[in-house]
Amino acid sequence: MESNGLNRYKVNKLTGIPYQTLDRYFKNEVARYDSDVLLKLCVALDCGIEDLIEVVR
């Protein structure tokens, strides 16, 4: 987000995702990831899903 000059407030305004939801994603406090939220984040941040989620085995 920072490399694009964005903060959570700006991403909220771009995507319509509630700020509280963005805050939970940012703090990694999400139990289930919503595909709609992830898609909106990828579009707003101009990135791929692999940039948002890391699979750790």
3-state secondary structure the chain: CHHHCCCHHHHHHHHCCCHHHHHHHHCCCCCCCCHHHHHHHHHHHCCCHHHCCCCCC
What pLDDT sits at residue 2? Answer: 73
What pLDDT sits at residue 6? Answer: 84
What pLDDT sits at residue 24? Answer: 94
Q: What is the pTM of this model?
A: 0.82
Mean pLDDT per block of 10 residues along the chain (57 residues) reads: 81 93 92 94 92 88
What pLDDT sits at residue 50? Answer: 92
